[in-house]
Structure 1
Amino acid sequence: MKVKRYVVASVPEALPLIRGDLGSDAVILSTKEIKTGGVLGLFGKRRMEVIAAAETKPVPKPAPARQPAARPAAALAASPSGLGMAEEAQAEPATTLGRPAEPPAESWRRPEPPPEPLPEAPSPPPRRDRMPTDGRPSADALQDELLQEVRGLKTWIRQLGLQQEADGRSEPLRQLMERLERQEVAAEWRDRLLEELRTEPDFESLSLQPEALREAARAVIERWLSPFEVGGDILDQARTIHFVGPTGVGKTTTIAKLAACETLQRQRSVGLITADTYRIAAVDQLRTYADILGVPLEVVFSPAEAARAFQQLADKDIVLMDTAGRNYRSELQINEVSSMLRTGSASETCLVLSLTARTADMESVALPFIEHGVTKAIFTKLDETRVYGALLNLSLSHRLQPLYIASGQTVPDDLERFSSRRYAALLIGDGADV
C-alpha cells in the first residue's frame, strides 16, 4: 500500500493531487486541521492535512527458463545418428540465457498439416438484463455504480464544507443560526439570511456582537415581510369574508373577535353565517356570541341556503361566514367547502391556521387551499407555542399573506393586526433562551 500526506488549504484542493499521484482507486484515510508556519506556535496559518492511500499491485516475476532434460549416457552412446556425445549435444538446439537459439533451417522441419477450422459458435440471444453471460457486470451497471460513487463523494465534500464553515463561525452567529433552526425556519431562508448578513460592510465585527447581530437579523426579516402589510384592512376591502381551515384551529372564536371589533369599536353592522353543522354545539357557540353582540345569525346546510342567507343579510355592512372544519386531504370535502363560498358580492377567503402545529403539517394543510386561490391567512394560538418559524416559511415560500395573529381566548382583545416588526422580534428573540 502506498500512503501519501498532503497539506492543502481545503480538502477539495487535495482531490486532484490524490488522483494524479495515487490513481482513481485511492481512498482518503483521514483529514485533520493543522497550523503551519508562525513563530513559537503563534500566527500560524490553518491548513488541512489529508492522508490518502492506494493499493500497489505486485510486479509478476519472470518464469525461470526451462533447461533441457539431461540425457542418460547410455542413450547418448546408442544414438541412432551415430554421432558422439559432444557432436550429439551440438545437434540439440542451443539456448542462450534461457531463450531458444535460431530455429533450424526449413529443410530440417517437418511439414505440418494446416489447422482445421474451428466451428463458429452461435451468437447468444440478446439479454434483457444488464449482466453479461460471463457473470461480470455490464458497462451500464458499472457506469451507474460510478455515478453513485461520484454523488456520494460530492455529498461528503459538501457536508465537510458546511462543517468547516460552521466551525469557522463566531459564537453569536452560531447561536443565531441554532435559534432559527429551533424555530423551524427552513434551511433555505436561514442560508439566505446568512448571505445577506455577510454583505454588511462591518460583518466581521458585527458577528462578534450578539445584540447587534440579532438587530441586523431582525431588520432583514422585517424587510422580507413588510410587503405583506401593504393593502389595508381586509374588513374594508370586502363585504363578505369566509373563514376556512381544519378543525380545532379557532375559526369560530376568531369570527367572534372580528365581529366584536367591528360592532363595538367601529360601529358597523355585522351579520354572521355558519355552515359548521358537523361539529356538536358549533352553532350554539356562535349563536351565543351573536346574542351577546346583538347581531343576526343564519345557519345554512347547502349552497342554496347560503344564497338565501346572504339575501337576508343584504343590509349589513359586513358578513362573516364560518365554514365547517374539513379534512384537507379530501378533495371532495375541499370542493364542498368551496361551493359554499360562491357569492355574488365582493368577498374574500381567509385560511385560519394554528401556530401549535408543526411546519410540515401546516404546509400540508395550507397547500390545498392555496391551490383553490386562498392567499390570506390568520394565525391563532400564539400563546400556546414558542415556535414561530412556520409563519415565515408559508409567507415567503407560498406568498401567503398573514392578516391577524390571535394570542388567546379573550374576545375581542386577543387579536391584533400582523406586524412584521413585532413578528421579527418574536422570531429572533432577545438571546435569553440561548
Structure 2
Amino acid sequence: MSPRPRSTSRPGPRLDDELAAIRRLVGQVLQSSRRVEARSAQAEAPATTAGPLFDLSLKLLESQVSTDLADEVTGAVRDELGAGELADPATVRDATLRQIARRIGVVSTPQPPGKRADGRPSVIALIGPTGVGKTTTVAKLAATCKLRYGKRVGLITADTYRIAAVEQLRTYAEIVGIPLKVVLAPQDIPGAIDALADCDTIILDTAGRSQRDAARLDELGEFLRAAEPDQIQLVLSLASAESVIAAAADRYGALGPDRLLLTKLDEAVDYSVVLNTARRVGLPISFVTTGQEVPDHIEAASAERLARLVLDGGSAWQAISGGR
C-alpha cells in the first residue's frame, strides 16, 4: 500500500487553543524568571540602595505587577525624590502611590453624555466576552445614569442569544422605570433608537462573544455600525486570569472601544491586574463594579483608590469597601 498523504490543512481549534496555552505558559515562566532575577539583582545591590523603595519594589513584584512596570514605577519614584526623602517610608509610599495612579488612566468626567447636538439621544454600547457580568452591569449603569446623574435613560438589548439575559434586563428596567427595546438584527437598531427619542441616553447591551469566534465578532461589529454609538465601553472581568483578559482585550480592540469598564473588583485574585491591564490596553477606565447589588455596586473609577489596591491588596479592599 502506498503511504497515506499527509494533511496540509491548518491546525484545528483545539490545537490552536493548546498552542495558545503553551505560549501563555512560556510567558508566565519568563515573567517569573525575570522576577527572580530582579530580586537577586536588588539583593546584591549596595546597601545604600536598600530601604523603603527597595521594600516597595519587592512588594510590587510579589503582587504580580509586571517586572517592567515595577521597574518603571520605582525608577520614577527615585527620580522624583531626593536622597533624604528616599529614606522616609511614608514619603516613599506616597510617591509610589502617585506613580502607580499616573499609570492607571481613568475617565476624567464619568457622567454619561446627554442628547446629541441634533437632539437625538446619545448611545453608549457595552461590549465584551461572555461571563464578565455585562447584563448586570448594564442595569447598574442605567440606574446610575438615572438616579445619580438625572438622565432620562433607555435600554436596547441585542443579547437575544440568552433568553434569561433579556428577561433579567427587563426585570431591572421595570424596577428602575426605564424603557427597554429588544432588537434581533442590526437593521432593527435605528427603529429602536427612534422609539426612545425622548431619552437623553441609550445604553446598548450586546451579546457576549468568545474572543475566538471571529464570525460572531464580525456580527457584533454590524450592530455597532448600525447604532453609531458615542461611546463603546469594553467590559472586562477582573476575576478572570490575566492571560484571558489580555486575549479578550486584543480581539475586542478591533471594534474600537474608547474606554474600559472593569467588573468584579471584589472577586479579583490580585489587584495587579488593574495596573497591568490598564497599561496593556491603553484605554481610560470609566467605572468599576464591586459586587452584585443593583444599583449600588458600581462606582466611577478612581486612579488613587485603584493604586491603593495595587499596592496594598486585600487590606486596602477591606478599608475601601468597609469590609463588605
State if a TM-score over 0.5 links the two structures: yes
- The answer to whether 1:222 aligns with 2:222 is no
Q: 1:237 to 1:370 in 2, by over 3 A?
A: farther
CA shift for structure 1 position 322: 0.7
User: Residues 289-321 of structure 1: CA distance to partner in whole angstroms, max 9, x if unpaired?
Assistant: 011112221111111122322222122111111
Q: Secondary structure at the match of 1:225?
A: coil
Q: Does 1:288 align with 2:171?
A: yes
* Deviation of the 1:272 alpha carbon: 0.8
Q: How does 1:160-175 map to 2 (within 5 A)?
A: 163-168=40-45, 170=50, 172-175=52-55
CA distance in 2, matches of 1:180, 1:392: 11
1:336 paired with 2:219, answer yes
Deviation at 1:372, TM superposition (A): 2.4
**Which residue among 209, 227, 233 is the counterpart of 2:111?**
233
- In the other structure, the counterpart of 2:14 is none
Q: CA deviation at 1:236?
A: 4.4
The alpha-carbon deviation at position 209 of structure 1 amounts to 4.1
| Counterpart residue identity of residue 180, structure 1 | L
Higher helix fraction (1 or 2): 2
- Which segments of 5 or more consecutive residues in structure 1 lack a partner in the other structure? 1-155
Shift of 1:201: 4.3
Quick check: 1:244–1:323 contact (8 Å CA) kept in 2?
yes
* Aligned pair partner of 1:176 in 44, 49, 56: 56
The reply on whether 1:379 has 2:258 as its aligned counterpart is no
State the 1:279 CA deviation.
2.2
CA distance in 2, matches of 1:161, 1:191: 9
Q: Which structure has the bigger radius of gyration?
A: 1
Q: Cα–Cα, structure 1 residues 237 and 298, in superposed 2: closer, same or farther, change >3 Å?
A: closer
Q: Which residue does 1:251 correspond to in 2?
A: 134
Q: Secondary structure at the match of 2:141?
A: helix
* Matched length: 274
Q: Secondary structure at the match of 1:412?
A: coil
C-alpha contact (below 8 Å) 1:218/1:425 kept by paired residues: yes
Q: 402, 413, 416: which one pairs with 2:296?
A: 413
Deviation (angstroms), 1:216: 1.5
Is 1:212 equivalent to 2:95 in the alignment? Answer: no
Q: Is the 8 A contact 2:145 2:153 kept in 1?
A: yes
CA gap of 1:180–1:404, structure 2 versus 1, over 3 A, is same
Q: What is the match of residue 82 of structure 2? A: 202
Residue in structure 1 matching 2:274, options 381, 384, 391? 391
Amino acid at match of 2:41: Q
Q: AA paired with 2:98?
A: A
Cα distance change of structure 1 residues 415 and 430 upon mapping to structure 2, 3 Å threshold: closer
Contact persistence 1:272–1:296 (CA under 8 A): yes
Partner in structure 2 of residue 193 of structure 1: 73
CA contact (8 A) 1:353 1:378 kept: yes
CA distance in 2, matches of 1:207, 1:184: 24
After superposition, where does 1:138-177 map in structure 2 within 5 Å? 163-168=40-45, 170=50, 172-177=52-57
How far apart are the structure 2 equivalents of 1:393 and 1:426? 13
- What amino acid sits opposite 1:165 in the alignment? Q
Per the TM alignment, residue 207 of structure 1 is displaced from its structure 2 partner at its CA by: 4.8
The alpha-carbon distance between structure 1 residues 279 and 175, as it changes in their structure 2 partners (threshold 3 A), is farther
Helix, strand or coil for the counterpart of 1:405?
A: strand
1:238-387 to 2 correspondence within 5 Å?
239-343=122-226, 347-387=230-270
Classify 1:161/1:181 alpha carbon distance in 2 versus 1 (closer, same or farther; 3 Å). closer
Query: What is the CA RMSD across the aligned residues, in angstroms?
Result: 2.7
RCO higher in structure (CA 8 A, sep ≥6): 2
Amino acid at match of 1:411: V
Q: Distance in 2 between the 1:248 and 1:161 partners?
A: 36
Q: Relative to structure 1, is the Cα distance of residues 341 and 175 closer, same or farther in structure 2, using a 3 angstrom cutoff?
A: same
TM-superposed deviation, 1:393:
2.1
Whether the 8 Å contact between 2:131 and 2:208 is mirrored in structure 1 is: yes
How far apart, CA to CA, are the structure 2 residues paired with 1:268 and 1:162? 51
Q: What is the one-letter code of the residue matched to 1:254?
A: T
In the TM superposition, residue 400 of structure 1 has moved relative to its aligned partner by: 1.4
Q: Structure 2 CA distance, aligned partners of 1:218 and 1:422? A: 9
Output the amino acid matched with 1:215: D
Contact 2:274 2:310 survives alignment (8 Å): no
Is the 8 Å Cα contact of residues 170 and 207 (structure 1) preserved in structure 2? no
The structure-2 alpha-carbon separation of the partners of 1:358 and 1:179, relative to structure 1 and needing over 3 Å to count, comes to: farther
In structure 2, what is the equivalent of residue 95 of structure 1?
none
More strand per residue: 1
Q: Normalised by the size of structure 2, how large is the TM-score?
A: 0.76
